[in-house]
Homo-oligomer: A and B are copies of this chain.
Amino acid sequence: MTTHQTVQPCIEFWFEFASNYSYLSVMRIEAAAAQCGVKVIWQPFLLGPIFESLGWNTSPFVLQKLKGEYVWKDMQRQCQKYGLPWRQPGIFPRRSTLPLRVALLGSEQPWIGAYCQRIMRLNFAEDREIDTVEQVASVLEEFRLPALQLIAEAQSDANRQHFRAQIDLARAKGVFGAPTFFVKGEMFWGNDRLDDALAACTEAGS
């Protein structure tokens, strides 16, 4: 007897709240993945240590002036294309460790998508700080979650260690930017590849 088990196709979504192109994907991925029956595996991580491994002390959009200037025009047009709100952040890249630790803690919770979208809107549509207990608590409270308890857990040794391991895993997988998607072990880099990555989820063959 052969058992045919239907396994839902998955997309690993590596993202950073400080990353402007991650903003586009965070806002788009839940609806886009749902449309093709794909499950999103939320993988928050920190880009800073990855950039440091590559010899950069900040975002390449800061280090490369011409590219940096272009990126803000591109973001404006991309947000218009996707119907997303946009305000160029006054500080870039913003500190993002606390909200990312909370995202890691809640990565399998039903509120993860809405939470990530809310944090991203604060950074890229409202130009607000996101790395404070007050701000993160206020977002969690919007979703009627036990904010201070979740933040304490996010800041616990266990979750800090998990977050560091998450960054090491990103490095080990060859991640060099965000957003990055993995589908069946294959890497897709950038919001511009989200559709291709989703298509790969449901393609026949490995």
Please report A residues at the B interface, Cβ cutoff 8 Å. 54, 64, 66-67, 69-70, 73-74, 77, 81, 174, 176-177, 186-190, 192-193, 196
Question: Are B70 and A187 interface neighbours, CB within 8 A?
Answer: yes
Question: From residue A172, how far is it (CB to closest CB) to chain B in Å?
Answer: 12
Q: A74-B189, A189-B74 are in contact. Are A66 and B196 (CB under 8 A)?
A: no
In the complex, besides A73-B186, A190-B192, 18 extra interface pairs with C-beta distance below 8 angstroms are A54-B64, A54-B66, A64-B176, A66-B174, A66-B176, A67-B176, A67-B177, A69-B174, A70-B174, A70-B176, A70-B187, A70-B189, A73-B187, A74-B188, A74-B189, A74-B193, A81-B196, A192-B192
Residues of B within 8 A of A192 (CB): 190, 192
**How far, in whole Å, are A174 and B188 apart by their CA atoms in the complex?**
28
Taking CB atoms, residues of chain B closer than 8 Å to A188 are 74
For A191, give the chain B residue with the smallest CB separation.
Answer: B192
Chain B residues with CB under 8 Å of A77's CB are 196
Report the bound CA distance from A174 to B186 in whole Å.
34
